[in-house]
Chain A
């Protein structure tokens, strides 16, 4: 080893002379990369910092308290009803979107004729590109009235004995409308990640199963699903994370009320939509801090979910050698 080192230092041009150009590019580019990490840290710090006045007054009890009263002198704030609204809208949306999204991905990878595969893939990805404010506009002016006049009465008549399907809403703004809107928004995300996962399943495994005499569905159930299981879980977490963070479209259609209502056809609010509605300014310092506290809860959830999903994706990718990091980029 030592002789090799010696030989290298004697080579005419190979000295480890530091070039100014090299140093400056590396330092500038490195600084940019460091800045992106600082940015994420700064976001976390600023959100904590902004919610401190509310944390001092309310403490952790804020998280579960069902109240939002900005009247001066009687101020009382809590995230309970918004946590409930976030959980119920996002979970039900995921429940509807996940099977549909996996169905779409299966159709595109296993069944679709080559000719329509490309266009349908592009169309589904275009759905992800539609801005949330446009989906919200459609949701409040077109979808809401249709759901109120036709779908909600029908569901109430058929399943009214379940508390979830109470009397239809009067305005068309309800948790249910928000659920439908969220379903539309996360559908293309979950399906495009699942599609990439299914494409990564080795051909010889599929062909092996089919050669053993399985039907196509048995092959999917026996080979494709087990192979892509971890990735599908990650795709769903990313879709769920997207749903809980959606502020604009939800605030347009959810009907902005405080309290826990078990009927899907009543109004509600989510963490994100409550923040978005209050953009024209809080009246007191405590109210603003409490809104930021809602943001802090949202941030914690989305960080946990993203790190979790990325951890799964990385583990799967290492095993399969597939790049799956394009989640949600449309």
Chain B
């Protein structure tokens, strides 16, 4: 197959009409592909929102599920909302400082070989399937101790860490070296230079990284299945035992035969989608703003 290089036949001017037709066809195909891509998003979001809007009411946030409900009982997923808040919050608290430290080490201290080695490890960590991370945390914490919010949050943190580190590294690399040199030249020690000159420049980028990582794991189900899924129906804020979460709740409700459960699953999915879309947008907005600041300060 002559997949590269332009052959003589291709260039023969006699075939110009045919070449134009081929060109048109391929251009049409790429445009069609783009239409399909956008249409898929629109269809999914629309069909979730359409079904979710029916069941979306205040009860969803304030009431707890009623097991084996007969007839129209007012119930919601308050326990899942509370649990997701705690799980994602704890995971963020675990990830952000560690991610920043790793990025600082790799950008400011590490030799190039160490840097590329560790970033390969982080890429590999990013590629490990979430369900395998769940098995790992299950073996590490759950066997013998039982499920807990801590275990679930730790599993989420494993998925957030490579994202957080990568985005922090990217902004640290954007900080102009002249800034570091100016500070070091004034006799400021290296650690003070990093903590009070370099890092403040990157707060925007680090926030973006954290927000995007939150948007990414807020919808993760797999890591929580083995670590924080066997739960009661009451609202709980303590991570020492298993906490319900929105993704796990949707997963369980989607497998139920009861249409009322499906309605609540759609409503929860709508809330989750809105949350994720808003956080991604916010992340991007912060990113463009802070990038503008770094480029003007240069």
Contacts and interface: CB of A to CB of B under 8 A. Distances in A.
Contacts of A326: 166
Contacts of B14: none
Contact of A120 (B38, B109, B140, B190): B38
B22 A33 contact: no
A131 B129 contact: no
A315 B152 CA distance: 37
Contacts of A21: 189, 191-192
Interface residues of B, number: 100
Given A103-B33, A292-B135, 7 more contacts: A127-B41, A217-B23, A217-B27, A247-B130, A298-B129, A299-B132, A325-B123
B131 A272 contact: yes
Interface string A177-191: 000000010011001
Interface in B98-143: 98, 101-102, 104-106, 108-110, 114, 116, 118-136, 138-140
A320 B30 CA distance: 25
A99 B36 CA distance: 12
B104 A226 contact: no
A36 B129 contact: no
Interface string B76-109: 0000000000000000000000100110111011
A221 B131 contact: no
Given A107-B31, A217-B22, A142 B3 contact: no
B105 A30 contact: yes
B195 to A, nearest CB: 7
A274 to B, nearest CB: 10
Contacts of A299: 128-129, 132
Contacts of B110: 30, 33
A131 B221 contact: yes
B286 interface: no
Contacts of A30: 105, 109-110
B44 interface: yes
A108 to B, nearest CB: 7
A248 B47 CA distance: 19
Contacts of B128: 40, 43, 245, 299, 302-303, 306
Contact of B129 (A138, A191, A213, A246): A246
Interface string A128-159: 01111111111011100000000000000000
A100 B109 contact: no
Nearest to B104: A29
A238 interface: yes
B131 A104 contact: no
Given A37-B121, A137-B254, A215 B19 contact: yes
